Amino acid sequence: MMEATARSIEPRPVAAKAPELTLVIPTLNERENIAPLLERLDLALAGTRWEVIFVDDDSKDGTPDVVREIARTDPRVRCLQRIGRRGLSTACIEGMLASAAPYVGVMDADLQHDEALLPRMLATLKHEPYDIVVGSRYTAGGGVGEWDATRAGISSLATRLSRMICKTEIADPMSGFFMLRREVFENSVRDLSGQGFKILLDILASSPDTPRLKELPFQFRTRRYGESKLDTMVAWEFGMLLADKLVGHLVPVRFALFAAIGALGVVVDLIVLWAALAAHSGFITAQTVATLVAMTSNFFLNNLFTYRDQRLKGARLLRGLVSFYVICSVGAVANVGFAAFVYSGETHILSGIAGIPWLASIAGVVVGSVWNYAVSSVFTWKAR
Ligand code: GDD
Ligand code: MN
């Protein structure tokens, strides 16, 4: 047994030496940047055994074809094309998982990151006691180039928020340009949230021990081809990542959002009920309309915020709405049933609050909400 294992890990003779550095480069519609980037990498990394994995989320502009075209003559280049997926962080994670090199770097495809820094990043990891080297815009010598005041302001606020969840002192936790020893990545990979744009922040917040980190300054360049993918969705995902790392161990962030929207639904319900009664409808009609309106608004709010990353559209939206009605109706029955059960005192569960209407009612609401959340997360917004 022992011998077999020992023999199997003995290195086999190989034609070419394996790379010591893998660059993982996420791409979404970057076709014009690929060739110039590879030219620059070739120059900057002369003398290093490197490879590059482009992780493409099915760009519509033909980026993966451009990469594969080059890959046919350059074995250092590979394309990992993902279908039906989106997300900068998960793209980086999967790219890193596809590499075996002892050192792994992450950089953008759009030439905004200074490739001339790569050899120093690698040398730092190889010869100095650091686990992660970060290309930093916010240490002396670094900079953000031609940003307007608004973008600079937003970035600086987000940076300050991010520092709260990092285990390490860092000037630029939002940088998308860094290199690390692969063990550091492997040690944290199962705890990564994978949400959104901030893969470095995710690693720094999830690593079981404090990584030894060094920042090297660089000037963030201005994009020449293509456009930025930073949008409100990215901002929302950033908020979810922060919340998850701050309170996620207490209550899942999605459930907190779902519950807050549910609470808002009660307010909606009461307003509609009041309006309907004022318009002289009978109580049953008024209550039915109020409940329907509240369920509908809850559905759309959850679709807009709680499940922003897997938002339903078109025919799926209608299907989702119907399933949400059905699930919430069962939830309402469970709510009332459980509240009545607790109120009656026929049970040992929560017997302390038997006979107290408002506490029994809250118990019912909790049971109903958990049901609605759990079941709708499986049937209404099933992750694709
Ligand atoms: N595979 C994949 N999937 N790649 C993506 C996605 C995605 O959903 N979204 C963006 N990318 C790729 C882009 O093609 C580009 O190569 C890189 O990720 C960065 O995207 P940009 O749209 O250029 O981002 P940015 O310049 O606004 O933001 C950069 O700076 C931020 C700091 O201000 C990135 O480096 C961020 O990580 C960084 O936080
Ligand atoms: Mn960019």
Reply yes or no on whether the pLDDT at 53 is more than 80: yes
Q: Give the ligand at the shortest distance from the Cα of 229.
A: 1
Residue 375 CB-density burial (10 A; 0-12 exposed, 13-18 middle, 19+ buried): middle
Which pLDDT band holds residue 67 (cuts at 50, 70, 90)?
A: very high
Per the CB < 8 A criterion, the answer to whether 116 and 44 are in contact is yes
Which pLDDT band holds residue 230 (cuts at 50, 70, 90)?
A: confident
Mean pLDDT of 169-173: 91
pLDDT one-digit tens code per residue, 333-368: 998 899 888 888 887 778 888 888 888 888 888 999
Cα 304 to Cα 6, 188, 313: the distances in Å are 55, 31, 11
Contacts of 201 (CB under 8 A, 6+ apart): 162, 165, 166, 173, 174, 241
Q: For residues 209 and 28, which has the higher predicted lDDT (pLDDT)?
A: 28
Residue nearest to atom 8 of ligand 1 (CA): 87
Mean pLDDT of 41-65: 97
Q: For residues 11 and 308, which has the higher predicted lDDT (pLDDT)?
A: 308
pLDDT one-digit tens code per residue, 245-256: 888 777 888 899
pLDDT one-digit tens code per residue, 315-335: 999 999 999 999 999 999 998
Q: How far is the CA of 201 from the centre of ligand 1 (A)?
A: 14
Reply yes or no on whether the pLDDT at 3 is more than 60: no
Reply yes or no on whether the pLDDT at 301 is more than 50: yes
For residue 9, the model assigns a pLDDT of 62
Q: Is the CB of 195 under 6 A from ligand 1?
A: no
Q: How far is the CA of 31 from the centre of ligand 1 (A)?
A: 14
Q: How far is the CA of 339 from the centre of ligand 2 (A)?
A: 53
Q: Which of 125, 89, 88 is nearest to 104 (CA)?
A: 125
For residue 39, the model assigns a pLDDT of 97
Q: How far is the CA of 110 from the centre of ligand 2 (A)?
A: 6
Q: How far is the CA of 277 from the centre of ligand 1 (A)?
A: 52
What tokens appear for 146 in the block? 């031609």
**β-bridge pairing 50-56 and 77-81:** parallel
Which pLDDT band holds residue 10 (cuts at 50, 70, 90)?
A: low
Among 63-72, 132-141, 191-200, 205-214, the least confident range: 191-200
Which pLDDT band holds residue 2 (cuts at 50, 70, 90)?
A: very low
For residue 1, the model assigns a pLDDT of 43
Among 103-107, 298-302, 318-322, 337-341, the least confident range: 337-341
Output the average pLDDT for the chain: 89
Q: For residues 70 and 359, which has the higher predicted lDDT (pLDDT)?
A: 70
Q: How many CA atoms lie within 13 A of 213 on its CB side?
A: 22
Ligand 1 atom closest to the Cα of residue 177 is 35
Ligand 1 atom closest to the Cα of residue 25 is 16
Q: Is the CB of 26 under 6 A from ligand 1?
A: yes
pLDDT one-digit tens code per residue, 128-158: 999 999 999 999 888 887 778 887 888 888 8
Q: Is the CB of 221 under 6 A from ligand 1?
A: no
Residue nearest to atom 19 of ligand 1 (CA): 108
Q: For residues 12 and 86, which has the higher predicted lDDT (pLDDT)?
A: 86
Q: Is the CB of 259 under 6 A from ligand 1?
A: no
Q: How far is the CA of 311 from the centre of ligand 1 (A)?
A: 21
Residue 160 CB-density burial (10 A; 0-12 exposed, 13-18 middle, 19+ buried): exposed
Mean pLDDT of 112-123: 97
Ligand 1 atom closest to the Cα of residue 234 is 9
